[in-house]
Amino acid sequence: MTLRELIVKRKRMGAIVTYLGLAWFVAWMALSGARPPWLFVAFPGFAVFFAGTWYLLFFLRCPRCRGRIGYTVGYPSNPFSISRKIRFCPFCGVALDSELEANRVV
């Protein structure tokens, strides 16, 4: 497994959780007509959306140096992959297409 594959796997899970939270929030807002008590069912979806976005930005880290790589890999591509133009970690310079085991710190 390469570093890119590991980061994409984590990013994909984060994006799925984020979008499910957003879908939950939007669906319950629409179904409840923004009125209580069903309005309160929508809020956990917003919390999940917020937490997922937070994870994608600040807790997606380089497997080698633990640098916060989320913002770098987040913007210029679709939510479920990393652009092929991003080839190196901006913090430690490791190639994202190198094997994970070769970079593991023991």
Interface ranges with Zn ion (CB under 5 A): 62, 64-65, 67, 89, 91-92
DSSP label at 86? -
Q: Please report how close the Cβ of residue 35 comes to Zn ion at its closest, in angstroms.
A: 48
Q: What are phi and psi of 55, to 5 degrees?
A: -60, -45
Q: Please report how close the Cβ of residue 100 comes to Zn ion at its closest, in angstroms.
A: 12
In the bound state with Zn ion, the residue whose beta carbon lies nearer, of 77 and 103, is 103
In the bound state with Zn ion, the residue whose beta carbon lies nearer, of 4 and 64, is 64
In the bound state with Zn ion, the residue whose beta carbon lies nearer, of 16 and 95, is 95
52: Cβ contacts below 8 Å, ≥ 6 apart: 14, 15, 17, 18, 19, 21
DSSP label at 98? S
Q: Please report how close the Cβ of residue 21 comes to Zn ion at its closest, in angstroms.
A: 28
* 3-state SS class at 95: strand
